[in-house]
Chains A and B, each alone.
Chain A
Amino acid sequence: MSPNQKLFIVIVGCGRLGSYLANRLSSEGHSIVIVDINESAFDALSAEYSGFRVEGDATELAVLKQAKIDKADLVIAATREDNINLMVAQVAKKLFRVPRVMARVFETKREKIYRDFGIETICPTLIAGDVLLESLMKLSVITEKGGRQ
């Protein structure tokens, strides 16, 4: 994604991650449609958010069509449920031929399986785990023996 290129992005799930991404990407000038099953979830969007909101269940094809997923340059699936994210990602990629599709997956086992299927997955558990382990390693270098001194 080059800095000047303006994209049409569909984000599914307006939780902490979805709303954060929607606010950031919208302020950078991208066109956003955000989908959530609960209308109250859209309260997390900032006053500056200039994209569209679609209230509905993303496992329903009509809802994804309403969000214009067929026109999207990028789809990000960020609901709290792994299986919804994986389903939305596959529908976006295989049925609507969206060029770039990303899914958040919490469960580490699932993450690996779907990466093997060619779905781009992001696993917060692995990311946080790796960062924690890395900082632990640094700490043990400082304390040399690794234990409490």
Chain B
Amino acid sequence: MNILIVGGGKVVYFLCRTFLSKGYKVTVINRDQDECTWLARRLKVTVVYGDGSDSQILEEAGADAADAVLAVTPNDQDNLEICQLADLRFRVQRTLALVNDPDNEEVFRQLGITAAFSTTRILSSLIEQRAGFEEITNLIPASEGKVNITEVVLKETSPVVGQPLIDIALPENSLVASILREGQAIIPRGTTVLQDGDHLIVISLPENLGQVLKALTGNMK
């Protein structure tokens, strides 16, 4: 696979190393001359010095033969133009961009970029997953992050233990889809009473996940 990366810093260095170890052919475009020299000395990558949103530079870097273009500069606008040029001028199959503003994930997708990743969103989702709630054992963003599937373990301190589902004030746009109880999967009804130790599979929108967790665990985090 032929990968073209536009950007700089440690991220690009380690991305290159990862891709090289998988046997991919990597080209980097960077607008800092010293960094270009540094990269070229350390790694077996082709380095092109220049502005990656300039179609001439992309051509020099062999964009027309790239299978994927990865735009990881610190500026959303530059990453957008790089990916659009790669897509529309050079017919690159896959264009991936890093975005700062999480809202730009959706913006970029609508403007034809294959995938946009927001570091902010990834980190905050990791924190929700690991740090905040010990009751959460799993969190999967589905449909490009539009829906979350979360596994929550009920402790005896939970305010919903001993209550039927129908009496629980879950926020809108959320659903307890399944309960795992003593190794058995249950598809709950309104009359199903929740018990200590139940694993709930909850489907919700990302924006009200916090409220859902609060309702189920009683935690304020």
Beyond A94-B111, A95-B110, A117-B88, whether A86 also contacts B104 by CB under 8 A is no
**Number of cross-chain contacts by CB at 8 Å:** 53
Please classify how large the interface on chain A is, using the bins under 10, 10 to 19, 20 to 34, 35 or more. 10 to 19
- For the complex, what is the distance from the CA of A22 to the CA of B55, rounded to whole Å? 32
Partner of B81 from the list A60, A61, A87 (CB cut-off 8 Å) is: A87
Beyond A94-B110, A94-B111, whether A113 also contacts B76 by CB under 8 A is no
B-chain residues with CB within 8 Å of residue A95 when the two chains form the complex: 107, 110
Name the distance in Å between A106's Cβ and chain B's nearest Cβ: 12
Q: Is the C-beta of B103 less than 8 angstroms from some C-beta in chain A?
A: yes
Name the distance in Å between A12's Cβ and chain B's nearest Cβ: 11
Please classify how large the interface on chain B is, using the bins under 10, 10 to 19, 20 to 34, 35 or more. 20 to 34
Chain A interface helix/strand/loop/mixed: helix
Name the distance in Å between A61's Cβ and chain B's nearest Cβ: 4
- The reply to whether A59 and B101 form a contact with Cβ atoms under 8 Å apart is yes
Q: Which of B67-85 contact A (CB under 8 A)?
A: 75-78, 80-81, 84-85
Most-contacted residue by chain B among A83, A84, A86 (CB, 10 A): A83
- For the complex, what is the distance from the CA of A62 to the CA of B56, rounded to whole Å? 33
- The reply to whether B107 and A91 form a contact with Cβ atoms under 8 Å apart is yes
Q: B residues near A, CB below 8 A?
A: 53-56, 75-78, 80-81, 84-85, 88-89, 101, 103-104, 107, 110-111
Q: A60-B104, A84-B77, A87-B77 are in contact. List 7 more A-B contacts (CB 8 A).
A: A83-B53, A87-B76, A95-B110, A107-B54, A110-B53, A113-B55, A117-B88
Query: What are the nearest 7 A-B pairs in CB distance?
Result: A61-B103, A83-B77, A87-B77, A84-B77, A83-B81, A59-B76, A60-B101
Q: A residues near B, CB below 8 A?
A: 59-62, 81-84, 86-87, 90-91, 94-95, 107, 109-110, 113, 117
